Structure 1
């Protein structure tokens, strides 16, 4: 275990029972002494049904919703309970579902999966093999629970992906459990954990998986993940959905990696279809940070499917 910059806060974050006891005490204190409003106290366990989008070609046996059970203070379950999938990356989810329909046969790799929403959607709306990578143990546990309780066939791995193999420090974000990262200086830290690290190319070779779609959201280490996956780009030409943050030169490094492989770049913001971009950019005022790196120009029916999925997401 690596040393924690703030051991007290890190200890409280790591131990749910301590965190819960601390909150129960704070509701009885005045705000000037660190008290909190009882109305803002999250439940110990958050349970809800998350409606899933459905469009005309969706087989009737596929689920209309998934049950989510998670610790009450995790960011993404709280966000999804409030706003559903319509309020969570609807542009990228719509194009992702269109790619799940239209990409050639092969697996879906969800890198930086959090509680596995992209994985769950791919498993619920296709027969593809799905692999979900999440190095934060507590969050990966929620992803496994969602898969098991809803009968969804995807594999969750407590593994970080980068451009090397071995171990690395996972920096626990003081901002949100959804922004833990291997990147130095990405967020203020409350602690660090040593996690297992591999490259996507090495992992794929061992597992003999043929990737068709790769989604990458690793809080500013997307270029490192892509650098460890270049053999996949050369051999399999997967569709790539990638978050691009305005920090640490992420956009410039992604362009340097992708340009030799002749991918076409689309910023997933607004309504589809999207025009190809000559540069990858990232700004704080962008509503969506997700990009599609396509192995070629998507056909018109792909954008039609994305538009229908976008409507379905708004409806659900």
Structure 2
């Protein structure tokens, strides 16, 4: 218990985390020492190549961005190593195809992290983009990305859920991509209190017309959908959502979405993808586990667009600085 609390303390405060790792780099392995070459820097500069389709169209936005991140964050470390080519490439390609083939409207990136999906939407379209991220230091990093690269997407410090008010966000000890809202009265150093809202309540205030929604909230995706049913009924956006198996997520999503007459496509392998009669977290690759929820049959050219973006992403290799 004491060890868990100490680990939570280290992960709660970035400066403490950085100082602890620097100290452990000077200790022998038998005393918990770390390989100095594997200790992340305090700050990380990443040159991020952006995909540009090869269909001759005139695209907005730059070919690459140089971004600054805190060195301990998980996604920037992965981007520095392998770029967008290996960061959920099938999901990103499907996301970009959705932007190509849906009517003009807002993009909502729920569980944005540092904003990879938001970066692409803002760099390659002129749509309003909103990135929802409740973890304070990650939201701050996403806001710095938007500002420094002149992308102009809006970072919203909210955890979208099925209720309005506040909730407990539990920080994952080994991967900040897995921070999630939890229902508990027993909190510790691993928990922080964050503002919560339903998607429907937020959208009523923001007055957006969402046409593309991406959801990745580490297992609470059904809560986000539950709080946004009015948005789904009224605006019929295309949805890209992560589905983790064995948590009851599949059954809850199907119960919520089925009355809305959406089609369910697992994002897996080479397109075209086939609609399934049920949602299963094991139907898509473990490293992505994304599903596309379509309010209608994909239009002509949609799957070709997915393949085109997948090819463009394959050229976006990592360029650490």
Distance across 1 between alignment mates of 2:106 and 2:236: 12
Offset, 1:199: 0.2
Distance across 1 between alignment mates of 2:249 and 2:3: 26
Relative to structure 1, the CA distance from residue 232 to residue 140 in structure 2 (aligned partners, 3 Å threshold; closer, same or farther) is: same
Q: Does 1:100 align with 2:99?
A: yes
Q: How many residues align?
A: 310
Distance across 2 between alignment mates of 1:222 and 1:135: 14
Give the structure 1 partner of residue 295 of structure 2. Answer: 295
Distance across 2 between alignment mates of 1:24 and 1:306: 43
| 1:48-100 Cα deviation digits (max 9, x unpaired) | 11101001355355210122211111110001111111101111100100111
Give secondary structure in 2 for the equivalent of 1:173: coil
* Partners of 1:6 and 1:191 within 8 A in 2: no
| 1:82-127 Cα deviation digits (max 9, x unpaired) | 1111101111100100111111111000000000000110000000
| 1:111-162 Cα deviation digits (max 9, x unpaired) | 0000000011000000000000000010111111111111101100111000
Give the structure 2 partner of residue 158 of structure 1. Answer: 157
Offset, 1:183: 3.5
Offset, 1:16: 2.5
Higher RCO (CA-CA < 8 Å; seq separation 6+): 2
Instruction: Output aligned runs, 1:93-172, within 5 Å.
Output: 93-172=92-171
Give the structure 2 partner of residue 76 of structure 1. Answer: 75
Distance across 2 between alignment mates of 1:308 and 1:282: 26
Give the structure 2 partner of residue 201 of structure 1. Answer: 200
Give the structure 1 partner of residue 319 of structure 2. Answer: none
| TM-score of the two chains, using structure 2 as the length reference | 0.93
Give secondary structure in 2 for the equivalent of 1:272: coil
Give secondary structure in 2 for the equivalent of 1:203: helix
Distance across 1 between alignment mates of 2:140 and 2:64: 20
Give the structure 1 partner of residue 89 of structure 2. Answer: 90
| Displacement over 6 Å in runs of 4+ | none
| TM-score of the two chains, using structure 1 as the length reference | 0.94
Distance across 2 between alignment mates of 1:136 and 1:101: 30
Deviates more, 1:5-14 or 1:96-105: 5-14
* Partners of 2:106 and 2:212 within 8 A in 1: yes
* Partners of 1:263 and 1:294 within 8 A in 2: yes
Instruction: Output aligned runs, 1:256-271, within 5 Å.
Output: 256-271=255-270
Relative to structure 1, the CA distance from residue 92 to residue 36 in structure 2 (aligned partners, 3 Å threshold; closer, same or farther) is: same
Gaps of 5+ in 1: none
Instruction: Output aligned runs, 1:45-84, within 5 Å.
Output: 45-55=43-53, 56-59=55-58, 61-84=60-83
* Partners of 1:265 and 1:277 within 8 A in 2: yes
Distance across 2 between alignment mates of 1:224 and 1:313: 31
Gaps of 5+ in 2: 317-321
Relative to structure 1, the CA distance from residue 174 to residue 16 in structure 2 (aligned partners, 3 Å threshold; closer, same or farther) is: closer
CA RMSD between the two structures: 1.8
Give secondary structure in 1 for the equivalent of 2:231: helix
Offset, 1:175: 2.6
Relative to structure 1, the CA distance from residue 61 to residue 294 in structure 2 (aligned partners, 3 Å threshold; closer, same or farther) is: closer
Distance across 2 between alignment mates of 1:270 and 1:171: 33
* Partners of 2:60 and 2:123 within 8 A in 1: no
Distance across 1 between alignment mates of 2:191 and 2:57: 43
